[in-house]
Structure 1
Amino acid sequence: SIGLLRDEKGKTVFRTEGGPLKEVLDRVEERANYGDTASGRYLTDEFANEPFGWDFEVVRLLVLSLLRAGKIEATSKGQTLDTVTGVEARETFSNNNLFRQASFRPKKGIEFEELVKASDAFRDTFGSEVKELNAGAIVSELRKEVARNEDVVGSALATLTAHRLPGGAVLEGAIGQMKAILRGSEDNAIATFNTSHRAIKDAIKRAVELEQALNEPRLHDLERARNAQGSLWSFLSREADISDELRSRASELEDLLQRESFYKELPAIEQDTKALEVEYQKRFDEALDARVNAYTAAFEKLVKTPGWTEIDEDQQRRLAEPFQRGQKRDEGRVPIPQLRADRDACGGRLSIAITELRRIIDGDRVVTVSVASYFAEGIETEEQLQAALDGIREECSRLIGAGKKVIVQ
């Protein structure tokens, strides 16, 4: 037993003054005193560590118990929950992801001390003073400021989401608190603000910085960076002669693109991206040149092959097509492995084209003899060499005697 209940004058109540419930309540209050909320994710991560080692289900049960005991309130999907009986509460505590995203704070009435705290937090967050130190006036001004900034934070979150950039969870959490302030009662609005004003201030600051940093050209540069770190580096990392410096840059780029503060690292991201792009382009150009040179030489050899001028233009066009295609430089972004594979296949394609040329001219008389098959086991002695040559001679003689024209490959 983890000792959640105790008897008080014949009634069973939650034991919040000690044991596991106090540990959780202490963490919630610590965060609240700092001006931040304790999310479900924070609490489950915190109590998974030593000396507690509590699993997810245990932490969720403890938080639910505190809510039922009236010690804490929750914010989920912009709604304030102060009871476990509502639909929203059941949804939040039965859905793992919603529980992780929900935030929790101590449940307190609005005392003068809380109004002073809200006034100080307002000045710290928005840079101006509230005009009156009463709940109605504070909440009115608070909601105006929150409403004014909600769109900025929401727009920044939409940009991060649309472009698959990190840091959205921080903004999303703050938007939940802002919605709770706008929709809840005056008491809830002040309690929510007092325990989340740092998160709201940070989110507004980050949203403004993101708006200034992420114009269209920079978003395009970030897409380039992701392509360089993903597609380009996926190829380059398998190359045998990549320098340690480039590997270090690729590792740094991966790290920078995963940081929530990536927008402060744009110059470094651009430098790392450029280094990967330059190296890839160098190898692309080399592979393209090698393919073009191979197919240019093969085409020149094909058109000088005896019999080329004896076939018609359509036949010439069909045989020449693979070699003319291999000489093109404007095919778009062909992957380097494909360029290399095309280059390696050039010799075989030339042999096929020449054989086809002979077949067009001489019909079924043309046969091909593969010299390689006679040397498949390798040659170590003169006797083996002589035997291979004799085999080739005998096969060619047999075919010639049968009226065939032999092409040796």
Structure 2
Amino acid sequence: ALRHNTKLQDARYYDADFDRTTFVNLYPFLPAHFDVLLHLLGALAKSTGGIGLRSAIKVVQDILVEGPEGQTPVAERPVGWLATTVTLYDALEKDIRRAAPSIHKAVGKVLVRFPDSAIHQEVAKTVAVLQILDNMPVTPQNVTSLMHPGIDARSRRDEVEAAIKDLMADTLVPFGEDKEGSLRFFSEKLNDIDQERAQLPVRSMETRRIQSEALKEAFSPLPSTRLHGSLAVTSGLKVLSGTMISSIAGERETIQTVVEFADPQEYETARTRLLDESRQRSAQHTIFLLGRTSPEIDEKLAEIFRCREIGQRYRNDPDQEVKEYCAAQADRATKLSGDLERLLKRLLSQGSFIFRGQQTAVDSLDHDLLDAAKKHLAEVAGQVFDRYAEAPVRAETTLAEKFLRAGNLNAVTSAIDPLGLVQVSGGIPRINTDHKALVSIRDYIDRTGTVDGKRLTDHFTDAPFGWSQDTLRYLVAALLVAGEIKLKVSGREVTVNGQQAIDALRTNNAFKTVGVALRDERPSNEVLARAAVRLTELVADTVIPLEDEISKVAAKQFPQFQLRYGPLTTRLETLGLPGVETLRSLNQDLADVLLTDGSDAPQRLGGEESPLYDALRMARQIDVALRNGLESTIRTLKSHCSEIEALPDTGIPGGLRSDLEEAIALVRERLAQDDFFKHAPDLNTTLTTIQARTRDAVVEMAAAQKNSIREAQEELQRLPGWG
């Protein structure tokens, strides 16, 4: 036991071990005491030049025979008593006062501040000796070992540590730790700084910040759990100080843990208050953590503040001793912060979690505060996100796009439909619109009306749902395919699956500005049937009378119609034919339908009257007629008509003009009609007639001309001067 109680820590210059012979020869000294004495005399000699300094033998003799002033000589002590560093200090006090006056003065202050406490005085003297030696860590263990008073005495470690705390807490004693953690007395300058430190007024704002830092460390990392194995739920951390709640970490988390410390006398009152408050709607996502406060909290907060503040004030002081002091203060603040963190955790572990009117003792869940918080959060998360189970998946970013690009519901697999929204009934795949997640979205839109993607996302990613944004877009895509909703993209309504819908639901950013609304009504079966029949006629391929199929065919075929019929407008304008405005409207209608991926194709083609269908039929007939030679016929007719109408009113030309006047009028009448293309045979016949009559007139004019030439020749021959 003696060896254990006198063991030194990191004291490489001192021999603390001994055997029976050594102990008997040196008693009442131990080997370490002789080493300390020799090194101490050497250190004092360096400071004084050895003037007036006794030898080691003389010092030992004085201790054994005479004893320090006012104390019993060692020779008269009872057997079992041991010499200590206190004995050495008392024997060399005058030499220490001369060689290390500041240290001696500091010990004197301890004697004044603690006149009736031998343990405080002994600790001070031992620290003074070790500080002068400066070759051994001045730790509580070494101080205790060198102060061990007797062979059979128990260890005084607890008393020594208590005395050290008292000395450090006394503002008039220049005692503390250096940056390595060794105990020491400070110089006068440091003593003044330490006095200033002791008198620093504690600012409540700073102590609140320090406490918040300690709580943040106590709850690091923040409590978290996983709901249904896919939703990561983390609790933010707040602290209540007075009437003010401050966020410490995770302020954006849905669930918040609010820490409050109550006076032990008022703990039950605070608990009752929090139980009532936790039942309020405003606190439905709040976990209250109530613990009992302790005076030790305020003591540590004040001490940490002073350590930091004094270090901040003197951090730029050039004095090396001051720099070391500031470093020691910083280390002490760090150590105290750790102590404060452990204290807060211990106090809270003895407290209670309060949530929605239910109280749970922290230590009933786990003795470790953080583990208890995690276990409690696992229960709370299920209540806060009680509707997450409607869509308990974390969809990948591209899921909505993949679902839409599948096109046919028969091609949808579990990989792109993790919630199993597509179900087969009677061999026909359909979207299960009664799925709870789809019903929730539909009900929300029904209550709020048209809602943009951002607002929809904010609602369903928060409690009580907690769905991911990617999962929500996948669900919206399913509702669109099912025909339950319509999207509003750049002012246009999209009701079917297509490129516009894919672009709108491809990313979370794109979805933010997209409007989402319930469909007021869907095309009736009669409308779908008419649209399918008409579209079948237009594309020369069977179209199934389903809204999605009609829209897909329209989205695929209408670009071809644009390419084929687009140039007709210019051709008709060039020919001066009617129908230009109709074709322009047709081109615009085709573009509008394509802008919505054919969403309104069923309505446009399935009405009792369909201007789009009529225009497409007309365009097709015009295109066919012009390709079959009508354009050449009309150009030739117009040329002939214009030239004939320009002929004189007399003679053969006049006769020709008169004969063809009715035919030309009929041509102009028919070319002015919207269905001019229907009269292609008549126009060809009329052209043939005009050409034949014109040819006859030319022949007649040629014969008349020939006859006139002959008559003129005969008249010339009858003239007297001829020939």
TM-score, length basis structure 2: 0.24
Give the number of the structure whose alpha-carbon radius of gyration is greater.
2
* Greater RCO, CA 8 A, separation 6+: 1
Instruction: Please state which structure has a larger fraction of its residues in helix.
Output: 1
